[in-house]
Amino acid sequence: MPNKIHDIGVAKKIGLYSDATEVPANSRWLFTSGTPGLPLDGPLPSDIVGQAEIAWTHIVTMLGHAGMGVHDLVKVTHYLTRASDIAAYVKVRARFLGDARPAAMLLIVPELVRPEFLLEIEAYAAKS
């Protein structure tokens, strides 16, 4: 049984996410650490689009290692260091999520573990 979306209408007025997600009993869970847009080789991109693409690629790869995909995401927390990056970030997120709508929270924080990181993504996924 897939995760069930419960929308009350708030999320639809703000963005591409769901108000709540219900996980079926006996599901397997995957919790990711805060994942920055840090490439495994090469330099860190200086822009939000480059870092977001790398971070989302890492998230999708971790999901794949667990036999999951973006439709198994239950909750995603996005940490950005600049409010001015929201519009560009949301476009990258939409490209990776497609029609998946996990519950979500986006925060603007003053700084991450490394000052050059513009974002980190923390994700929770579950699959029956």
Residue whose entry in the numeric block shows the structure tokens 């080789």? 41
Per the structure, the complete domain to which residue 85 belongs is given by 4-127
Residue 104 pairs in a beta bridge with: 76
Q: Is 62 left (phi over 0), alpha (psi -120 to 50) or beta?
A: alpha
Q: What is the DSSP string of 3-51?
A: -EEE--STGGGTSSSBSEEEPPTT-EEEEPPPEE---SSSPPPSSHHHH
Residue 81 DSSP code: S
Q: If you average pLDDT over residues 87-99, what whole number do you get?
A: 97
List the structure tokens of 9.
């209408």
3-state secondary structure (DSSP) of residue 78:
strand
- If one counts the domains in the chain, the total is 1
Residues with Cβ within 8 Å of 79's Cβ and at least 6 positions away in sequence, in order, are 34, 107, 109, 112, 119, 120, 121, 122
For range 102-122, the mean pLDDT: 97
51-86 residue pLDDT tens:
999 999 999 999 999 999 999 999 999 999 999 999
CA atoms lying within 13 Å on the CB side of residue 93: 27
CATH of the domain at 37: 3.30.1330.40
Write out pLDDT tens, residues 2-49.
788 888 888 888 888 888 988 989 999 999 999 999 999 999 999 999
pTM, rounded to two decimals: 0.93
pLDDT beyond 80 at 1:
no
